[in-house]
Amino acid sequence: MGSQEYFGFDIRVIVTYDGDTVNVTLDIALNQLRDLNEPNQYLSLVVWFRFWWRDNHLQWKPSEHENITELRFRKSEIWIPDIFMFNHADEQRTSVQVYSDVFAVVQHTGSVYWPVPAVIKTTCKIDMTFYPFDIQRCPIKLGSWSYNGNQLDVYSKNTAGDTGSFIPHGEFDVLEFPAKRNVLYHDGYAEPFPDITYTVVIRRKSLFYIYNLVFPCVLLLLVCTMVFILPPESGEKNTLAIMLLLSMTVFLLNVAENMPATSDVVPLIGKFFGTVIVIMSLSAAFSVMILNIHFYGLHGDTVPPWIKMVVLRWMARPIGFSNFSKGDLNSVDVAKKEATSSVAAFVKVMKHVPMAVREKDKGKLTTRPLSKRSYDNNYRNDNGTNYILNSILTHMETLNENLWKNRKGKTDKMKERSEWQIVAMIVDRYLLILVILMSVIASLIVFINNEPI
Looking up residue 230, the CATH number of its domain turns out to be: 1.20.58.390
| 451 domain residue, yes or no | no
Mean pLDDT of the 184-194 span: 88
Q: Is the pLDDT of residue 370 over 80?
A: no
Alpha-carbon span 183 to 6, nearest angstrom: 38
Do residues 70 and 216 share a domain? Answer: no
Do residues 117 and 17 share a domain? Answer: yes
Do residues 223 and 371 share a domain? Answer: no
Do residues 290 and 302 share a domain? Answer: no
* pLDDT given for residue 405 in this prediction: 60
DSSP codes of every residue in 274-337: HHHHHHHHHHHHHHHHHHHHHTGGGGTPPPPHHHIIIIIIIITTTTT-HHHHHHHHHHHHHHHH
* pLDDT given for residue 70 in this prediction: 93
Mean pLDDT of the 149-154 span: 92
| Side chain identity at residue 176, one-letter code | E
* pLDDT given for residue 452 in this prediction: 53
Lowest mean pLDDT among 153-162, 175-184, 235-244, 373-382: 373-382
| 452 domain residue, yes or no | no
| 89 domain residue, yes or no | yes
Confidence of residue 361 (pLDDT cuts 50, 70, 90): very low
Query: Which of 274, 294, 314 is the last residue before a domain boundary?
Result: 294
- Residue 191: Cβ within 10 Å count: 11
Alpha-carbon span 164 to 62, nearest angstrom: 35
Could you tell me which residue, 330 or 134, shows the higher pLDDT? 134
Do residues 192 and 239 share a domain? Answer: no
| DSSP β-ladder status, 111-123 and 104-107 | antiparallel
Do residues 15 and 135 share a domain? Answer: yes
Reported as a single tens digit per residue, the pLDDT across 289-311 is 888 888 876 666 777 888 888 88
Do residues 26 and 130 share a domain? Answer: yes
| 357 domain residue, yes or no | yes
Do residues 302 and 249 share a domain? Answer: no
Confidence of residue 98 (pLDDT cuts 50, 70, 90): low
Query: Which of 272, 294, 316 is the last residue before a domain boundary?
Result: 294
Q: Is 300 left (phi over 0), alpha (psi -120 to 50) or beta?
A: left
Do residues 172 and 238 share a domain? Answer: no
Q: Is the pLDDT of residue 163 over 90?
A: yes
Q: How many domains does the chain have?
A: 3
Query: Which residue range(s) make up the domain with 318?
Result: 297-446
Average pLDDT, the chain: 78
Mean pLDDT of the 225-245 span: 84
List, in order, residues 6 or more apart from 369 with CB less than 8 Å away: 351, 352, 355
Do residues 192 and 157 share a domain? Answer: yes
Mean pLDDT of the 39-48 span: 91
Do residues 219 and 156 share a domain? Answer: no
Query: For residue 13, what is the domain's CATH number?
Result: 2.70.170.10
Q: Which is nearest to 74 in space by CA: 96, 99, 102?
A: 102
| 33 domain residue, yes or no | yes
Q: Is the pLDDT of residue 368 over 90?
A: no
Q: Is 384 helix (H, G, I), strand (E, B) or coil?
A: helix
The number of CA neighbours under 13 Å toward the Cβ of 279 is 30
The model's pTM is 0.70
| 93 domain residue, yes or no | yes
Do residues 159 and 89 share a domain? Answer: yes
Q: Which is nearest to 285 in space by CA: 438, 398, 435, 130?
A: 435
Query: Which of 205, 232, 251 is the last residue before a domain boundary?
Result: 205
Q: Is 366 helix (H, G, I), strand (E, B) or coil?
A: coil
